[in-house]
Structures are given as structure tokens and as C-alpha cells.
Structure 1
């Protein structure tokens, strides 16, 4: 879960020039695109895009953050569903994002400070040429689609154990059921986030709320259980809403846009989730169950990698070797913090020292760097 999300905006038909005037998002000439990538220059007050029209297929966004704040860059459908994204792009740094994109209308959004709606540029993807896929790519997508549906299906009964305990006012039972209820969501979070509207309802922290947004979901109940040490008058309503919103997620997972590149980029996004929320202890700030989420994020990333490995092995065998090495190292490091016979019983994160958190962070970074290259390797 990110600190704050892009809000759904009302669709309006405006010229690109008018949009640039309103939002501060400007289009530069195509001559800056160099090797064919769409150049995106992210600033604190602008999002400069080298092309507002480009052909369908595999598209590369070459992002450079020239602002003073950490930023995120999104490629969005008109209804705010996410095609692809990259988080935590620091000032003065660059990132490349490879995505499979069909013909249609989209927006590129830069999000300085990783807050608010983002500074947006309308773009058009032309032509009806589909990106080329090998049988191995199609097999990976089919298998991953099955995986994310299974995770959603398996999550609902675990959530019901949690919400039933909340409705019964049984605080200890609810605490015990809380972390297990989140595992399937955390494994497949990029797919859930791609819908745009479900994640803010179920997985937003207090500091991630947009203006006027009601705080609902797991973390609202987490605060009541661990910090307030009592369930509020609206706890039953919150439990009912969580059940309803996750049922919506389960029903919609089968319609998610899934491509080989979205799988690879999603794996990197899961590592970004670990770096921005789990390693810092911000995600589960009341329950301190961060390592459960951490493990689930890593598992989800590794699942995408394993399914894409036959393709990546043909194109970039050295990258596959490095990813195998770094996934094994990070899993070994996480195993040091297991606390009990259950595979998802981990040490409370408040007991993890500053030095140990640094070690975990280094392990995440060592994996994240080669993982950021997986999408490009898949379509090479």
C-alpha cells in the first residue's frame, strides 16, 4: 500500500495544450526521444513528456526526476486504472519502465512527493498492432491469472475469520486473524491496485487519506485493535465494508489487464512496497506485523519471476542467475525472523533493531536493482 493514491478524476475532453496550461504538464518535441523511448522529465511542478502520440506494442518510458522530491510515474487508462508505474524515483535519478500497451487514450502522470492526483499529460497510442508474444509468454500470463484469482479466493475466508471476530467484539481473536487475512492481498497487490478504487478503501493508512476520504479497511481496524485497545462503535460497519470491498476485488480480479510486462513491473512494485512501507515499519505501525507483509510481497514478486523465467532465461541468462541468487539471499535473511511453527509467524517488527532493519533494506535493494530489468529482458 502506498502512502497516498492517485484519485479518480472526472473525464473531460480537452486539448493537450489546454491540459498543459491547467496542470503544468508540458509536451516536448519528439526529437528528445532518442532511441524511441518516451522521455518523461518529472519536476516538482511539471511532467514533461517527449511524445503525446506513439505506436502500440512494447513502450518504454525513460524517466528522469529533475525535481527535489521523490516521485512516482504512472501510465493510466482514462478511468485511472493503472497500466504500469514506478515508485520511489529519487531526485536526480533515472528509471526505465517497459510496458505492453494497446491502442487507445491514456495519461502519463508524475506524482512529486508521491501525493495527490499527480501532474498529468494526455497521450494517444496509435495503431492496432499487438505486442508480439511467444507461447511461453502466453503461458506465463495464463498461469499468473490463475494465481491471482486463487489468492483472492483464498483471502475471503481468512478475512471472514478476522471480520467475524471484530463483529463479535473478540479483540484477541481479531488480532490473531489480522495478519493472515492480508497475505493473499499482499502477494498480488499490484493487480489489486491496478483497479484504482479498491485499494484506497481497504488498505490506506491514516496519512494516505485524500481530502474528504473516509478511513476504512484493514488499517483503521488495526489501529483500534492495537493502539486504541478497543473496538469503536462503527467497528461492525467497518468489518462489513471490508468484506464487501474484498468481495468486489475477488470478482474483478479475473478481468484485470495482465501482460508479461505488467507481471515483471508488478514484481518490482512489490519490492518497492517493501522498501517504502515494510522495512520502515510504517505499514503495520500498530500491529508490528510488517514481516508477514514483507514475506508475502517477496513471494508475490518471486511467483511472477518464476513464471517469466523461461522467457528471461533465453534473453538474459545472467540476469536470471542474479535474480535467483538475490531471491534466495533475501528469503534466507527473512527466515532469521521466523517466530513459531507456522510459516507466517514472524518476530514483531518493533523488536527488529536499527542494524537489522538496515540489513533487510540492503537485501531488498540488492534484489530490486536486477528485478527492475526483468520487463526489458522479457520483451528483448
Structure 2
């Protein structure tokens, strides 16, 4: 679950947000073709250029603010081309993306909330990125099919969950909760690329914007486990969750997918694990975090496996390391399998995972995340 962001904004709202920005400087040239220096702070977002050629774009990001930030490349309608979340204060990150000619925005989102501070970006060229290895086109097509399959499989699972809620069956609803999330968690970067869906379906209580109504899985999770009740409000929320996820299902085929967005998305899934699942914050009432954990890893591994033929040709040492670290994390997760509690979707309840075991999981995620951060650059060498 990403930090919540306001849904699709109108042109007027975007213009107002841009006009209100202060302290944002823009230079006339990038450091090199396709390279943009991005300096994020608590109230500013400085970019070294407003124009780059179509093709590979590299954001060299430095967070000089006091809070974690998120940096995104956005289409005019707020769909995400590529992003990096949780860039800590005083840290740097390099984000590689592929963009076609057109108008975009670069957004820095201090605290990872709201519309963020934005800079316009024009991508020049013949309307499309440079030709790429046909194996990468095949990988993109296969990943698009995978994302659609996961969305299609989610709908009957979430309908089972919603029917249990509607029937007032607390135990059945608890047992259906974690399975209903698997397809979403495997392909969450695709879902998040549509900025209005994730806030409605997967926002935690601490991610709510001021005045935002809490809807989706986690509002229901709290009712089922902490409040231990199902009332009219929960039945309405469950029905709305089905409606919102069917909207996501219809849109998946229109998502912007590139080899670099696949690679960056795989890294984002590992970041989701590190910042939500390992900490126990994601499913804090149900403690079904390990089910989500596994789904995130499976989604990251799918993207990697599809990109591996090209990445291995360009950087064999990297893919060898990634194979090793994925295998290690998979094996570690297997040690936490359990059939004692149907609500846990085959895993140990996370509140029963010891501090030492959580540290072991965290170390394994970090060991995989570091080489995975290099995958995007490897596929476009």
C-alpha cells in the first residue's frame, strides 16, 4: 500500500498547484541526454531541466528535506509513468524510466502525501522511444497478460469476501480476507499507476488525507478483527470494494508498461515488503502480513523472470545474484508456512513471528532489494 494520493486532478487544480509552488528552480539543459537532477526538499522540487529527448530518462534524486519523499514521473492525467517511494532524508536514488514524446510532470511528494510539488517536463522526439530488443517487447506483453490474469482472479476472490461480509459471517469473512488481496499485492505497481484506485481500496488509517473517508480492505479488516462486528456500514464498504476493484480490472489493460517500469515495479514491491509487511503495519489487525509478503515477492519475481533473458545478457553477475537472493527469500518464507489458522492463507500469523525472525526476514529483503535496484539499468544497457 502506497501512501495515499488524491485522485485524478482537473487541469485547473493542477495549474493552481503549479502556480502555488515556490522555490522551484529550472535550468535549461540536463546534465546529459536524458539525465535530470532532482533535488527534493520539504516544500520544493528542483529539476535541472524541463526538456529531454524521448527514450531512456534517468532521474538522479537527492532528498534534502526532513521527511521521506516520493518522486514520480506523471502523465497529465496523473497516471504514473515511474516512481520511487520512501526516499529518506539525506539519501539519494537513481530512477531509470522510458518515456515517449509528450508532456509530463515530475512530482516530489514530501511525506508521500498529497499532489506534491511539481515541475513540467517536455519529452521531445518522434513520438516514441527508441527501438528496443524484441525480447523486451515480449516481456512487456507477457507481463501485461500476467497483470490482467491477476486482476481477473481477484474479482471472484473479493466477491467471496464481500458475500461473507454481507451475510454477517465473521469467521468466513476473516478467512476470505487474505486470499482476496493476493492478485492485488502481486501487481500493486500497476494498480498504483492509476492514482485514484489505491486510495479507495488499500489505504491504512494512518495514510488518510484530511477529510478522506476510509474505505477498502483495511477499514473492513479493522471491523473484522479489532471491532469484531459486521454492520450495515461494513456491508456497504464490502460492496464498494468489489465495485472499485472491478474498475481496476477494466483499466489494467490500459496501463503504461515498459521494461523499466517492470523493473522499477519489482523494486517497489520489495520496498512495500520492507516498509509495511516486515514491520507488521500493513495488516495490523488481522496479522496476515506474510500472505501479502509472499504475494509481493511473487510479483517482483515474475517481473524479474520475464526481464531476465535480456538482463542476463547485459549483466550476468547481476542476474546470478538476483537468482541467489530470490531463492534465499523464498526458502525463508517457506519456513513460516502454517495451516493452523485458515484466516492466514497458509502462513503463520505475523504477531507470532518473533523479533529475531522479523530481523531475519528484513535482512533477506534488503539483500534482494539492493541488486534488484540495478535491474532497470541492466535491461536498457
Structure 1-normalised TM-score? 0.95
Distance in 1 (alpha carbons) for counterparts of 2:49 and 2:151: 38
The question of whether the paired residues in 2 share the 8 Å contact of 1:38 and 1:50 is answered with: yes
Match of 2:12 in 1: 12
Q: Deviations over 1:299-356 (max 9, x none)?
A: 0000000000001011011100010011111111111111129994111111112221
Match of 1:351 in 2: 352
Going from structure 1 to structure 2, the CA distance change for 1:19 and 1:170 (only over 3 Å counts) comes to closer
Match of 2:269 in 1: 270
Match of 1:70 in 2: 68
Q: Deviations over 1:105-124 (max 9, x none)?
A: 11111111222221111111
Q: Does residue 312 of structure 1 match 2:311?
A: yes
Match of 1:162 in 2: 161
Match of 2:123 among 88, 111, 125: 125
Aligned residues: 378
Structure 2-normalised TM-score? 0.95
Distance in 1 (alpha carbons) for counterparts of 2:200 and 2:105: 23
Distance in 2 (alpha carbons) for counterparts of 1:87 and 1:13: 23
- Note the 1:228-247 alignment, pairs <5 A: 228-247=227-246
Distance in 2 (alpha carbons) for counterparts of 1:92 and 1:281: 26
Match of 1:379 in 2: 380
Distance in 1 (alpha carbons) for counterparts of 2:140 and 2:372: 18
Distance in 1 (alpha carbons) for counterparts of 2:375 and 2:172: 41
The question of whether the paired residues in 2 share the 8 Å contact of 1:338 and 1:344 is answered with: no
Q: Which moved more, 1:114-123 or 1:313-322?
A: 114-123
Q: Deviations over 1:110-160 (max 9, x none)?
A: 111222221111111111242321110011011111101110111111111
Distance in 1 (alpha carbons) for counterparts of 2:65 and 2:139: 37
Match of 1:186 in 2: 185
Distance in 2 (alpha carbons) for counterparts of 1:94 and 1:278: 24
1:6 Cα deviation (Å)? 4.7
Output the aligned Cα RMSD. Answer: 1.9
SS at match of 1:164: helix
- Note the 1:29-48 alignment, pairs <5 A: 29-30=27-28, 33=31, 36-48=34-46
Q: Which moved more, 1:192-201 or 1:28-37?
A: 28-37
Distance in 2 (alpha carbons) for counterparts of 1:328 and 1:68: 36
Distance in 1 (alpha carbons) for counterparts of 2:345 and 2:122: 45
Give 5+ residue unaligned stretches, structure 1: none
Q: Which moved more, 1:309-318 or 1:88-97?
A: 88-97
- Note the 1:80-95 alignment, pairs <5 A: 80-95=78-93
The question of whether the paired residues in 1 share the 8 Å contact of 2:5 and 2:196 is answered with: no
1:35 Cα deviation (Å)? 6.8
Distance in 1 (alpha carbons) for counterparts of 2:14 and 2:184: 37
The question of whether the paired residues in 1 share the 8 Å contact of 2:27 and 2:50 is answered with: no
Match of 2:133 in 1: 134
Match of 1:145 in 2: 144
Q: Deviations over 1:21-50 (max 9, x none)?
A: 621352332466257511101111211000
Give 5+ residue unaligned stretches, structure 2: none
Match of 1:100 among 98, 101, 118: 98
Distance in 2 (alpha carbons) for counterparts of 1:102 and 1:13: 25
Going from structure 1 to structure 2, the CA distance change for 1:125 and 1:195 (only over 3 Å counts) comes to same
The question of whether the paired residues in 1 share the 8 Å contact of 2:41 and 2:64 is answered with: yes
SS at match of 1:123: strand
SS at match of 2:12: coil
